[in-house]
Amino acid sequence: MLQKLSIKNYAIIDHLVIEPDGHLNTVTGETGAGKSIILGALSLILGERADSSVLINKEEKCVVEGYFDVKHNEAFNRALKEEELDEEAQCIIRREISTSGKSRAFVNDTPVTLSVLNRLSSLLIDLHQQFGHLALEDDHFQMNVLDAVAGNADMLKEYTAGYTAYKKISQQIIEYKAQQTQWQKEADYKQYLLDELLQLNFKTGEIEEAEQQLKQMTHAERIMSVLQMSRQVLDEGEQPLANELKRIAQQLQGITDVMQDAEPLQERILSAYAELKDIAGELEILEGKINLDAGLMQQLQERMDAGYKLLKKHALQNTDELLVLQQQLEEELKASRDLNDHINKLEQEQASVYAEVLSIAKHIAKARRKTAPEIAARVTELLALVGMPNARFDIALKDVAEPNAKGLDEVSFLLDANKSGVFQPVYKAASGGEMSRIMLCIKSLTAKAMHMPTLIFDEVDTGISGEAARQVAILLRDLSEYHQVICITHQPQVAAKGSRHFYVYKDEDSKARITTKVRVLKQDERVLAIARMIGGEQPSDAALQNAKELVEA
């Protein structure tokens, strides 16, 4: 709801503030007083473009501010989140035009682009010029009207949740199948690489061990010669070192009774003897490990050659890295097989969700088809009351092959303006003035069921008078019971229905400039203003009495 509109330095407006109430606000004034200029200023915070030509004072910037109560406007607060803007109970939208013509827009003091401003403000204010020509072309709005009257809110909520889930699953299947196609292109090659590794079946460190073993076998004779020579010197020669040490130890033991200092030396020599015997034993063991099997050498050479070929092929350094690659290939191929299973499960889930969505969509379509003729008949009746007696309104519903965001239907609002028998889309068949009255009739049917922003009607009563004007006034007043309405009018019947009456006029300021002013009329002032709308600048007693009756009614 619009709580306050402040306009500074715009066209012939120096500074004015309008504070409408939450119901029907009527705006009157002489032609040229500036009513359309106020709407022009308001359009700035709706995202319309402007330049420095709108400045009344070329040395100061133009500032238009709208203060809105948005506590219960879920759509607006959701849009704020999507735009990453702060949520507050009151939202202030400001538009500034500098002396150079540069424009800036702010939402709660945060700069925004005009496109963001336009999106957000459209959820707060609806000017009938925009609403009339665009909403009646928008099948989303038309469907909302139909569903609101049909009472489809709960089913639509369930349908939207199901349809969103269905689209999400469908998108996942598309993505997984694209991934599957890509994997299938690589699967044969990966399987070939894996089979190559599995066939060789390397163990940890095997290539490096084979290389070391092959080196030993290649130099086996020299190694064997050194080992045997070493063992003979220690333990098997004509005078083995081990035996000599043992003999020395025995001789030293023979003198320890007369020379105690020799005892430690004798013990050390015995220790050395034991160590040499142990070394000789290990040399013998090493000799036993030397393998001169030519077949084994060939086998090791083949394993090593195959291993190094794979290392070079995959640009790896050792056996363990090959085993890591093998595990990676196994996991990727398993993931590919798992993906097939996952796609199959998703397709089963998709079919189940689709069946539920289709069932709900059919119930919604049935309710729409039942309600559409009722809406058409009621709007046709209201159009006759508001000065369009020859108009015929109709709603056309067309089946669609597959469920979409709106269900199984496409909707069109149609109008035959002159009983011609030829129905056309409303936005093609109706004039501007007729469009606003059609929208008023449609909105009056959905007032309780649909959330709508502040509704602003300009010239909704153009070309009508008498009873038609009275019916327009009644519809506006009824609509304002549920939504804030601002109506610029030239009809006394409409002006009298307002819960707050604004009067727009021109005045001369201290600098002898003519500027637009606006004020709220008191009860007696309203009577006089409406009487002048009926009987001219000097209204008769009859006009005054008529105006008083209209206001009191």
**Residue with tokens 């009157």, as numbered in its chain:** 28
Structural contact between residues 23 and 499, judged by C-beta atoms closer than 8 angstroms: yes
Residue type, 232: Q
pLDDT value for 134:
55
User: Around 38, how many Cα atoms within 13 Å sit in the side-chain half-sphere?
Assistant: 31
- The continuous run of DSSP H or E covering 515 comes out as strand 514-520
pLDDT value for 131:
43
Q: Quick one: which of 326, 107, 103 has its CA closest to 206? A: 326
d(CA 481, CA 484): 8
Strands 24-29 and 485-488: parallel
Q: What is the DSSP string of 260-275?
A: TTHHHHHHHHHHHHHH
**DSSP tag of 525:** H
User: Around 325, how many Cα atoms within 13 Å sit in the side-chain half-sphere?
Assistant: 23
- The continuous run of DSSP H or E covering 95 comes out as strand 90-97
**Torsion angle of alpha carbons 292, 298, 304, 306, nearest 10°?**
-170
Alpha helices in 290-405 (DSSP H): 294-313, 319-385
Edge to edge, the sheet with strand 2-10 lists 13-18, 2-10, 62-69, 90-97, 103-107, 110-112
d(CA 40, CA 31): 15
d(CA 316, CA 294): 30
**C-alpha pair distances (Å), 493 with each of 26, 278, 520:** 11, 125, 18
Sign of CA dihedral 537, 529, 14, 120: negative
pLDDT value for 95:
94
Distance of CA 27 to the CA centre of its chain: 40
Can you list the positions of beta strands (E) in 114-257? 125-127
Instruction: Estimate the crossing angle of helix 466-479 against helix 432-446, to 10 degrees.
Output: 40
Residue type, 23: H
What global pTM score does this model have? 0.67
Residue 370 token pair? 């039942």
Return phi, psi of residue 406, to 5°: -100, -5
Residue type, 331: E
Residue 414 token pair? 């149609």
| Cβ contacts of 417 within 8 Å, gap of 6 or more | 388, 390, 391, 429, 430, 434
pLDDT value for 157:
92
Mean pLDDT, consecutive 10-residue stretches, the chain (553 aa), reads 93 91 92 86 88 83 94 89 90 92 91 92 76 62 89 92 95 89 77 85 86 72 74 77 82 84 86 85 77 71 84 89 89 78 91 95 95 94 91 94 91 91 88 82 84 83 84 91 91 92 87 86 92 88 89 84
Strands 407-416 and 500-508: unpaired
Sign of CA dihedral 144, 145, 148, 150: negative
| Cβ contacts of 490 within 8 Å, gap of 6 or more | 28, 459, 461, 462, 533
- The continuous run of DSSP H or E covering 120 comes out as helix 114-121
By three-state DSSP, how is residue 7 classified? strand
d(CA 334, CA 328): 10
Instruction: Estimate the crossing angle of helix 541-552 against helix 523-535, to 10 degrees.
Output: 130
- Report the chain's terminal Cα–Cα distance, integer Å: 26
pLDDT value for 136:
66
**DSSP tag of 66:** E
